[in-house]
Amino acid sequence: MDKYTKKEAMKLGKRNIRYNTLYMIGLEETADIFWDSWHLQYKPENKFFRTIKDR
């Protein structure tokens, strides 16, 4: 597995610390799965659902 530097991970355009860390340690597939789920959970149209669900 290729490992990325922090700068390379940031260049991928995914501005999320956990995502970048997963990429840096070589877990690209895990990072992509994490990003997809994180992106779905925090989409603007889901923000109110998340707030109500967490209460």
pLDDT per residue of the chain (55 residues) written in tens, 0 to 9: 455 566 665 666 555 677 777 777 777 777 777 766 666 665 555 555 544 444 4
Determine the pLDDT at residue 25: 75
On whether the pTM is more than 0.75, the answer is: no
Burial of 22 (0-12, 13-18, 19+ CB in 10 A): buried
Spatial separation of the C-alpha atoms in residues 53 and 49, rounded to whole Å: 6
Are 5 and 14 in contact, with CB atoms under 8 Å apart? no
Please compute, for residue 41, the number of CA atoms within 13 A of its CA located in the half-sphere on the CB side. 11
Determine the pLDDT at residue 32: 72
Directed axis angle between helix 17-24 and helix 28-41, to 10°?
A: 170
Determine the pLDDT at residue 1: 43
